[in-house]
């Protein structure tokens, strides 16, 4: 990628004013990594991401387990949920700005809306995919609903829930950064916008590379946590391949 990037600039296919040399960009990456101001903005982005993940998980997972476990609730709720998740979070940006201004609350609210649906749906589907024979076996042993939920349903749904959290982690970062690029007052996205307005493409691309690295770290971090916390989920996927 870097070789192709360098070749495109050297041949003049793209002007240096729009796309600096990769070596120059990497120097700017190093400068940003030791810039306290930039690191503070990264912390603001990560804080908004973390709050959104916690709130959406605390609400979405229990609600998904409840809706998935009781058929009488699952069927009427499904159509409403699919209707809600079909509206992109970006459509609510003007409303979020009116309600919360341009601060962190606006970013968090948009991210919660975006990631609530995959967490909720994966929790519901995880419960619905529980092996019926396991439930029947638990009932023949005299287990009540709470014990079935704890001993059968939760372990069965855990891999699906973990997948929903992993997908939500990437989506939350995208939404938070998008909000920062479009009008927030803090976060790494506002730094990139500032450099773009100052016509410093070297810093713009450096910021983009660091954001990409941050996204990779979050993704692989969740992947590792899933392997540790839900090892049977990977075993199940491996056996189906």
92 is a domain residue: yes
Q: Is residue 88 part of a domain?
A: yes
Q: Is 90 exceeded by the pLDDT of residue 59?
A: yes
Q: What is the pLDDT of residues 96-125, one digit of tens each?
A: 888 888 788 889 999 999 999 999 999 988
pLDDT in tens, 134-156: 777 777 777 777 777 778 888 88
From CA 44, how far away is CA 54, in angstroms rounded? 16
pLDDT tier at 233, thresholds 50, 70, 90: low
What is the reported pTM? 0.85
Residue 186 in any domain: the answer is: yes
pLDDT, average across residues 63-88: 82
Q: Is the pLDDT of residue 5 over 90?
A: no
The answer to the question of residue 19 being in a domain is no
CB 188 within 8 A of CB 207: yes
Token code pair at residue 227: 């392997």
Residue 121 lies in a domain: yes
Quick check: is 9 in a domain?
Answer: no
Residue 10 lies in a domain: no
Give residue 30's pLDDT: 92
What CATH number does residue 153 fall under?
Answer: 1.10.3720.10
Q: Work out the percent of the chain whose per-residue pLDDT is above 90.
A: 33
Q: What is the mean pLDDT of residues 48-60?
A: 94
| pLDDT at residue number 238 | 52
Query: What is the rounded average pLDDT of the residues 7-21?
Result: 85
Please tell me the predicted confidence (pLDDT) of residue 127. 84
Q: Indicate the range of 69-78, 201-210, 213-222 predicted with least confidence.
A: 69-78
For residue 181, is pLDDT > 60? yes
pLDDT band at 235 (very low <50, low <70, confident <90, very high): low
Q: Is the pLDDT of residue 199 over 80?
A: yes
For the chain, the domain total comes to 1
171 vs 139, higher pLDDT: 171
Q: Structural domain of residue 175, as residue ranges?
A: 48-235
**pLDDT of 236 above 60:** no
Question: Encoding tokens for residue 4?
Answer: 């192709």
Sign of the CA dihedral with 79 first, then 81, 84, and 89 last: negative
Q: Which residues are CB-contacts of 214 (< 8 A; sequence separation ≥ 6)?
A: 42, 46, 173, 188
Mean pLDDT computed over 183-191: 85
Q: Is the pLDDT of residue 56 over 60?
A: yes
Inside any domain, residue 91:
yes
- The dihedral built from the CA positions of residue 164, 167, 169 and 174, taken in this order, carries a sign that is negative
């Amino acid at each position: 990628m870097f070789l192709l990037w360098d070749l495109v600039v050297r041949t003049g296919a793209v002007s240096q004013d729009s796309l600096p040399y990769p070596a120059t960009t990497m120097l700017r990456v190093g400068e940003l990594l030791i810039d306290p101001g930039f690191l503070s903005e990264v912390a603001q982005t990560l804080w908004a991401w973390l709050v959104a993940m916690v709130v959406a998980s605390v609400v979405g997972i229990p609600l998904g387990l409840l809706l998935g476990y009781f058929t009488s609730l699952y069927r009427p709720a499904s159509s409403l949920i699919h209707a809600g998740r079909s509206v992109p979070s970006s459509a609510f940006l003007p409303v979020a700005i009116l309600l919360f201004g341009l601060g962190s609350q606006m970013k968090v609210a948009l991210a919660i809306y975006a990631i609530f649906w995959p967490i909720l749906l994966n929790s519901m589907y995880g419960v619905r995919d529980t092996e019926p024979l396991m439930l029947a076996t638990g009932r023949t042993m005299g287990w009540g609903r709470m014990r079935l939920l704890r001993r059968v349903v939760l372990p069965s749904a855990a891999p699906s829930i973990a997948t929903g959290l992993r997908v939500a982690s990437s989506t939350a970062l995208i939404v938070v950064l998008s909000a920062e690029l479009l009008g927030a007052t803090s976060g790494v996205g506002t730094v990139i916008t500032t450099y773009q307005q100052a016509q410093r493409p070297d810093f713009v691309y450096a910021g983009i590379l660091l954001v990409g690295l941050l996204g990779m770290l979050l993704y692989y971090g969740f992947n590792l946590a899933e392997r540790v916390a839900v090892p049977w989920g990977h075993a199940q996927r491996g056996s189906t391949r």
